[in-house]
């Protein structure tokens, strides 16, 4: 599951459901018969491969991820699923490795050293690169404008090069945390202000440049992979102002023109609670360009066509992300592989098990009426890249997609359930109530009929500090108005994104039971007369 948080604003909901309070469905003997394909033994078989050291943590754009993609494709093909992408199973994603082609910075005509005096992020360089020079820099402190504090007051930044501290807010007490919505809004307002004033370039005073390590240098020199989604391309277009991060030493060299230093300025601003913006008359020039090299990257799709001549046009999507975070960067680490057995080898395994169950049914003449797309996506750990790509380049029309059931981490017991009676019989159900009350009700009835697990809705609470609803691939379906359920075990501390996330720690009977809950829900969705109605506003409130 992805670490990044996004804005959360949803309605308050109950935290748990008891199946005894819900009217069960009539059990479907066929569904029960074919559910036997979802079992602990086959789960162990798949996960022992996907989360092995040989797969090197399955980081997007690396050999381990390619090996996992090949394994999943071969399995889909072996059980009879069709490749829906021009006859193939891979939906190729436009991923590139971006490296710095060249860069140069001078102060007073004297060249500065890359990765000692300054750093330029190639991912922030426009396709055409940049070159600029100036004899005048406008220092704008923390570049904050709020309440009674305005770093931009009294200075003209139009068409100028500005210099600012890379982070911080002198108006806030140390240790105070700002909520992400407010912080995001501040960044967006600042970017708009810079763009509206046609700022020529931004120089960031960044202490991280002072402390850059050899490991960091090597990582920067290897480049950074980035996916060229429509959203990413548009964001880059809106962010084409050149940016350079400089060391404190270089900043002090520039500040000599005003007879001050970084430390003195910071102290002065904090003590006075007033800006200290100024114009620095000092020659500064810079240029940079980047290289982009395509990198293999793909979602893996297996398609099961529905049996009903009308309903087969509608598609149910079952997702899990097969990527993880790769190898440990610490050269002294004894265990160098972040295996990602739970995150999200477990969910990917669940998708494979469900695919086998539905294909067994299909071969026995009991296949689903609607079509099902089994999709394991890549790049989730990088920022939901694979599902975002699919949302922008859907293989099947969005209007024909009835729901997404997403399994991301279903193999372990989360911290809140350790040692509790429900520890081996619960699952967090996330987002089922956001867009469709019918989907939520169906999920509860399915659970009451077949799996009888405790459904915990904790992460639907608007006060959820982890903002789980926004952190896995279902969200890229939900934002299109497609009903979703995200099944999740709640493991956020034990071994999360660490080498300890190993196959040996997976509870395979529990993994299988959670996958069966997903499967039974999918069975009903794929066979019931009507698709789940979208009657909620995406925040858990009834549509007006």
Closest CA to 532 of 491, 477, 470, 458: 477
Q: Are strands 315-321 and 118-119 parallel, antiparallel or unpaired?
A: unpaired
Contact yes or no for 325/497 (Cβ under 8 A): yes
Per-residue pLDDT of the chain (544 residues; tens, 9 = 90+): 887 654 333 333 444 555 557 899 999 999 999 999 999 999 999 999 999 999 999 999 999 999 999 999 999 999 999 999 999 999 999 999 999 999 999 999 999 999 999 999 998 898 899 999 999 999 999 999 998 999 999 999 999 999 999 999 999 988 887 776 788 788 889 999 999 999 999 999 999 999 999 989 998 999 999 999 988 888 777 668 999 999 999 999 999 989 999 999 999 999 999 999 999 999 999 999 999 999 999 999 999 999 999 999 999 999 999 999 999 988 889 999 999 999 999 999 999 999 999 999 999 999 999 999 999 999 999 999 999 999 999 999 999 999 999 999 999 999 999 999 999 999 999 999 999 999 999 999 999 999 999 999 999 998 888 889 999 999 999 999 999 999 999 999 999 999 999 999 999 999 999 999 999 999 999 999 999 999 999 989 999 8
One DSSP character per residue, 326-364 reads -B---TT-S--B---IIIIIIHHHHHHHHHHHHHHHHHT
Which domains occur in the chain, in start order? Answer: 16-93+297-527 (3.40.630.10), 96-293 (3.50.30)
How far is Cα 235 from Cα 212, in angstroms, rounded to an integer?
27
Query: What token pair was written down for 524?
Result: 């009903």
Q: What are phi and psi of 295, to 5 degrees?
A: -125, 135
How far is Cα 24 from Cα 26, in angstroms, rounded to an integer?
7
CA 9 vs CA 62, 125, 406, 475: distances in Å: 36, 33, 21, 14
519 in the Ramachandran plot: left (φ > 0), alpha (ψ -120 to 50) or beta? Answer: alpha
CA 364 vs CA 88, 313, 357, 358: distances in Å: 25, 21, 11, 10
Q: Is 410 exposed, middle or buried (0-12, 13-18, 19+ CB in 10 A)?
A: buried
Closest CA to 19 of 441, 407, 405: 441
pTM for the predicted model, two decimal places: 0.88
């Amino acid at each position: 599951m992805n670490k990044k948080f996004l804005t959360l604003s949803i309605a308050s909901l109950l935290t748990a459901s008891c199946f005894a309070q819900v009217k069960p469905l009539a059990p479907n003997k066929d569904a029960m018969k074919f559910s036997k394909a979802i079992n602990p033994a086959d789960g162990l078989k798949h996960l022992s491969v996907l989360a092995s050291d040989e797969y090197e943590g399955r980081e997007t754009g690396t050999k381990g991820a390619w090996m996992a993609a090949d394994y999943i494709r071969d399995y889909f093909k072996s059980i009879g699923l069709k490749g829906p992408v021009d006859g193939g199973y891979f939906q190729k994603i436009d991923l590139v490795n971006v490296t710095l082609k060249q860069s140069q910075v001078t102060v007073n005509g004297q060249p500065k050293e890359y990765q000692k005096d300054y750093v330029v992020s190639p991912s922030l360089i426009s396709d055409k690169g940049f070159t600029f020079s100036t004899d005048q820099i406008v220092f704008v402190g923390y570049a904050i404008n709020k309440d009674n504090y305005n770093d931009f007051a009294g200075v003209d930044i139009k068409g100028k090069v500005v210099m600012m501290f890379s982070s911080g807010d002198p108006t806030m007490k140390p240790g105070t945390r700002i909520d992400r919505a407010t912080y995001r809004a501040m960044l967006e307002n600042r970017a708009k202000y810079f763009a509206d004033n046609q700022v020529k370039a931004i120089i960031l005073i960044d202490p991280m440049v002072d402390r850059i390590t050899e490991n960091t240098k090597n990582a920067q020199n290897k480049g950074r992979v980035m996916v060229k989604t429509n959203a990413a391309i548009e964001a880059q277009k809106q962010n084409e102002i050149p940016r350079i991060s400089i060391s404190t030493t270089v900043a002090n060299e520039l500040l000599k023109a005003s007879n001050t230093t970084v430390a003195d300025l910071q102290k002065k601003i904090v003590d006075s609670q007033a800006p200290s913006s100024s114009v620095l008359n000092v020659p500064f020039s810079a240029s940079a360009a980047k290289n982009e090299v395509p990198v293999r990257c793909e979602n893996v799709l297996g398609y099961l066509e529905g049996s009903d001549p009308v309903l087969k046009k509608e598609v149910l999507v079952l997702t899990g992300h097969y990527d993880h975070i790769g190898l440990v960067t610490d050269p002294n680490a004894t265990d160098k592989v972040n295996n990602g057995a739970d995150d999200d080898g477990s969910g990917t395994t669940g998708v494979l098990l469900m695919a086998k169950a539905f294909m067994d049914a299909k071969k026995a003449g009991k296949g689903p009426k609607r079509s099902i797309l089994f999709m394991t996506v890549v790049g989730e750990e990088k920022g939901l890249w694979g599902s975002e790509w699919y949302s922008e380049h859907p293989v099947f029309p969005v209007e024909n997609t009835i729901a997404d059931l997403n399994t991301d981490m279903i193999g372990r017991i989360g911290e809140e359930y350790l040692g509790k009676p429900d520890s081996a019989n619960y699952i967090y159900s996330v987002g089922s109530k956001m867009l469709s009350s019918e989907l939520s009700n169906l999920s509860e009835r399915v659970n009451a009929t077949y799996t009888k697990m405790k459904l915990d809705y904790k992460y639907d609470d608007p006060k959820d500090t982890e903002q789980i609803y926004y952190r896995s691939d279902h969200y890229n379906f939900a934002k299109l108005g497609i009903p979703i359920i995200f099944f999740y075990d709640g493991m956020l501390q034990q071994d999360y994104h660490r080498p300890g996330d190993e196959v040996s720690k997976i509870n395979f009977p529990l993994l299988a039971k959670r996958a069966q809950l997903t499967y039974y829900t999918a069975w009903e969705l794929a066979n019931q007369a009507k698709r789940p109605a979208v009657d909620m506003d995406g925040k858990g409130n009834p549509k007006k």
